[in-house]
Homo-oligomer: A and B are copies of this chain.
Amino acid sequence: MSSIASVKGTVSFSQGPEPKNLIQRERDAATFDLNEMNYFLEGSKERAMETRLFISQFERDPVMAASPKDYDATKAEHRAITIQKIDRLSRYIEVETFDRLERRLSIVSVFDPSFHTRLGVHLGLFLGCIRGNGTADQMQYWLLKKEAAYVKNLYGCFGMTELAHGSNVAGLETTATFNEEDDEFIINTPHLGATKWWIGGAAHSATHCCVYARLIVKGKDYGVKTFVVPLRDADHNLMPGITIGDIGAKMGRDGIDNGWIQFSNVKIPRFFMLQKYCKVSSDGEVTEPPLNQLSYSALLLGRVIMVKDAFRWSARMVTIALRYAVGRTQFKAALAKESDPESQLLNYPLHQRRLIPLLALTYAFSNGANVLQETSTATMDELDDAVSSEDKQALDASVEKMKSLFIASGSLKSTCTWLTLNTIDQCRQACGGHGYSAYSGFGKAFNDFAVQCTWEGDNNILGMSVGKQLIKKFAAVKKGEKATGILDFLGGYEKLAGTNPVLEAKDLKEPKKILFAIEVALVRACIRADQILESKNGDTDFIGAELVTLSKLLAHFFLLKAFLDKIEATKDQPNLVAVLDLLAQLYGATVILEGFSGTFLTFSVTTTEAIAHNSTEHIAELCSKIRPHVIPLTDSFMMSDMMINAPIGYYDGNIYENYMRTVQENNPAKNHKAPYSAALEAMLNRSSLAERQRFEREEEAEEILSN
């Protein structure tokens, strides 16, 4: 035993590692104002202060706050706790405006995604469906008169997907047959495949469901419409003809009671049909919607939230991994002297290259999410105004904007959720073994987040749909149509086409040139996709992979543009801009240029020299320039420890003590014999093999038996 024993809280016989000092040293050396950087990320000082207020209310509330105890909760416990949280939050909802509530909820997702989604199914999807598809009176009735908007009296779920139909909403098979005699609809599940499946809230919570079903009137199928169908009565017992089951264990989101629903001749009054766009009269006359596609607008809000999620989740993950990488030491540098201490993980160029680009990406997410949210709110408001004023011209203009928004949000939702899922796992791997501890947060985050790549538009299907719209728009532009909004660069397609490289090694330090290179890549990829399409008789299925690539490039165009615009708007703060410019460069150099090097080279957008210089020099140089700012840059996210919820990533940087404390609190060490220990001990202390074989295989037996 070492001769130097010390007692500082606990006994120690030699000096252990002190990660908190390493982190604090870098925190002290910040070159910019963290509050100002936080305003940049949140969009404005006002939003930033509001976010902090929300966080303080959550973290001070013992019911709603996240804690490491969550990582040891069973599925049954998660579900019960989630209802307590919703109950608590419903008291806020009663006294808050809808806009503010939406922003408050966007914070919830990152520290308790099950809580967020279970409530979101009711507030966002169920009520969103009524808002989107119901008349003003129907909305008034269900949301306000029945008080559903305050999570009161009724709890809704969203009955879209079926066992055999997910993304293809138009192919759903549940039927709503009009019965003129009784002035009612009969809802029915015709076969197992049409069972409503994955319905969040159905298993235990929901009293009502917005059911997507085929409207059948006088034998004619009018396609899929929406109906409010009561599932449970005021005593929470199932209505006649309703069968509901629990969908059971999932990869993540344990707090949500997803269920399946079968309808066996369930009768609802005619006026339970949501009839903003489609009406059925008492004598069976059907008035069809002028704008069919708008009836899925409930999903738009989900996309906006998911892009914001990409920012907050990534911020949380990179904060944990980077604090750990600064506090943890491992091996010595290759050129270290014998007497040098072990090196901080983040001083290794490879480790910088694994994590710092993810930090840059997170910064790019922040403004992309803000811009998408603002555009979305403005466009939805405009559309609502146009619909209620019945102004045809305004309606057309809004619909055009809505289409643009669907393209942008589709490309961003799919691209950002994919990137975030990757970020979560890369951050986990960067924390080595400790990344695998549930208490480091990555495992639950991955499991909870993974569904976002599939939800509300599977990423590949969304990506293909965006790509298709892009090449359609490109074809129209070639025929003289004007390109607007985010796609206005298509107008100059003739100058961007060809095989002329537009990005050389010397241009890499100018993110605007990378932005331009994406425009060029998009145009050339559109042209190429067109050519293939022509050779395949217009079979868009054949260019699925190309379409998804187009969608990803478009998302990066949006993100990089939003990032650069915001940096431009911040130019009066040189201390911020100095670092932000490096981050924009790095985002361009890694996620975009390196990530799409095959595409950029195939279309000669750039040169092999530029790609080689980028990968062997430029990226490493940028990483090493950003390296000293990493702690201030992650501190600027202003994630409190409650939001971080991972002891290896807490603010104070006291990694090992925090981690050990959590492990001990959740698993008291005095329980060192397992509840099943008797079985284990019986195995180890079993009698000899010969004895257990009743000596039947021993020599004596052989002698007797072989006589």
Residue contact A192 to B10, C-beta cutoff 8 Å: yes
In the bound assembly, the distance between CA atoms of A1 and B10 in angstroms comes to: 73
Cβ contact of A257, chosen from B166, B168, B265, B674, cutoff 8 A: B674
Which residues of B have CB within 8 Å of A616? 528, 532, 546
In chain A, positions 120-171 with a C-beta closer than 8 Å to chain B are 150-155, 161, 163-168, 171
Q: Could you tell me if B16 and A192 are in contact, using CB atoms closer than 8 angstroms?
A: yes
The answer to whether the Cβ of A243 comes within 8 Å of any Cβ in the partner chain is yes
Interface 9-residue window, one of A429-437, A511-519, A698-706? A429-437
Q: Which 4 residue pairs spanning A and B have beta carbons closest together?
A: A350-B544, A251-B443, A249-B438, A16-B191
Known: A450-B428, A539-B335. A442 touches B251 (CB 8 A): yes
Query: How far, in whole Å, are A673 and B331 apart by their CA atoms in the complex?
Result: 56
Can you report 20 A-B residue pairs in the complex whose CB atoms are below 8 A from each other?
Answer: A1-B177, A13-B188, A79-B674, A83-B676, A155-B680, A161-B433, A164-B656, A207-B684, A236-B681, A245-B669, A248-B667, A251-B436, A333-B539, A425-B450, A429-B454, A433-B455, A447-B447, A528-B616, A597-B597, A602-B608
Knowing A80-B674, A251-B442, A684-B154 touch, does A544 contact B90 (C-beta < 8 A)? no
Q: How far is the CA of A689 from the CA of B616 in the complex (A)?
A: 64
Chain B residues with CB below 8 A from A676, complex form: 79-80, 83, 204
CA distance in complex: A612, B425 (Å): 30
Interface string of A331-368 (1 = CB under 8 A from B): 10111000000100000111101100000000000000
Contact B602–A615 (Cβ < 8 Å): yes
The answer to whether residues A438 and B191 also contact, given A1-B177, A542-B620 and a CB cut-off of 8 A, is no
Stretch at the interface among A109-117, A381-389, A457-465: A457-465
Which residues of chain A from 219 to 235 have any CB-CB distance to chain B below 8 Å in the complex?
Answer: 234-235
A558 interface residue, CB < 8 Å from B? no
Q: Does A423 contact B (CB under 8 A)?
A: no
Chain B residue numbers with a CB within 8 Å of A425 are: 421, 450
A393 near B: Cβ within 8 Å? no
Check A76 for interface membership: any CB of B closer than 8 A. yes
CB distance from A163 to the nearest CB of B (A): 6
Chain B hits for A601, CB < 8 A: 597-598, 601, 608, 611
What is the interface residue range for chain A against chain B? 35 or more
- The yes or no answer to A291 lying at the interface (CB within 8 A) is no
Q: Are the CB atoms of A545 and B685 closer together than 8 Å?
A: no
Contact of A663 among B75, B245, B597 (CB under 8 A): B245
Q: Is the CB of B436 within 8 A of A677?
A: no
Q: Are B604 and A608 neighbours in the complex by a CB distance under 8 Å?
A: yes
Residue of chain B at shortest CB distance from A2? B190
A540 interface hit (Cβ, 8 Å): yes
Task: Output the nearest chain B residue to A163 by Cβ-Cβ distance.
Answer: B656
A64 CB-CB contact with B under 8 Å: no
Which residue on B lies nearest to A447, using beta carbons? Answer: B443
Tell which of A17, A425, A532, A680 has the most Cβ of chain B within 10 Å.
A680
- Stretch binding the partner chain, chosen from A193-201, A313-321, A574-582, A626-634: A193-201
The reply to whether B594 and A669 contact each other, CB–CB distance below 8 Å, is: no
A167–B432 CB distance below 8 A: yes
A680 contacts which of B12, B205, B246, B439 (Cβ < 8 Å)?
Answer: B205
* Chain B residues, Cβ within 8 Å of A432: 166-167, 454, 458
Contact of A15 among B76, B191, B446 (CB under 8 A): B191
Are B164 and A433 neighbours in the complex by a CB distance under 8 Å? no
Instruction: Please measure, in the bound complex, the distance between the C-alpha atom of A173 and the C-alpha atom of B597, giving whole angstroms.
Output: 45
Q: Is A427 an interface residue (CB 8 A)?
A: no
Query: Could you tell me which residues of chain A, from 241 to 267, have a CB within 8 Å of some CB in chain B?
Result: 243-252, 257, 260, 265
Q: Which residue of B lies closest to A544 (CB)?
A: B350
For the complex, give the distance between the alpha carbons of A548 and B237 in Å: 59
Which B residues lie within 8 Å of A447 (CB)? 443, 447
- Does the CB pair A192–B602 fall under 8 Å? no
Which residue in chain B gives the minimum CB-CB distance to A442? B251
Q: How far is the CA of A676 from the CA of B265 in the complex (A)?
A: 30
Task: Check A209 for interface membership: any CB of B closer than 8 A.
Answer: no
CA A681 – CA B165 in complex, angstroms?
Answer: 32
B-chain residues with CB within 8 Å of residue A350 when the two chains form the complex? 460, 464, 541, 544-545, 547-548
Interface centre among A171, A349, A446, A598 (most CB of B within 10 A): A598
> Which B residues are in CB contact (< 8 Å) with A284?
none
A591: CB under 8 A from chain B? no
Question: Are B541's CB and A334's CB within 8 A?
Answer: yes
A30 is an interface residue with CB less than 8 A from chain B: no
| A659 contact set on B, CB distance < 8 A | 163
Q: Are B684 and A155 in contact (CB under 8 A)?
A: yes
By a CB distance below 8 angstroms, the chain B residues around A663 are 245-248, 260
A86: nearest residue on chain B (CB-CB)? B683
Q: Does A480 have its Cβ within 8 Å of any Cβ on chain B?
A: no
Shortest CB-to-CB span from A280 to chain B, Å, is 17
Residues of B close to A620: CB separation below 8 A:
542
Which chain B residues lie closer than 8 Å to A335 at the CB level?
537-539, 541
Q: A2-B175, A79-B674, A669-B243 are in contact. Are A164 and B539 (CB under 8 A)?
A: no
B540 touches A334 (CB 8 A): yes
A191 to chain B: which residues have CB within 8 Å? 12-16
Residues of B within 8 A of A602 (CB): 608, 611-612, 615
- CB of A248 to closest CB in B, whole Å: 4
What distance in Å separates the Cβ of A584 from its nearest Cβ neighbour in chain B? Answer: 21
- Across-interface contacts of A155 in B (CB, < 8 A): 680, 684
State whether the Cβ of A666 lies closer than 8 Å to any Cβ in chain B: yes
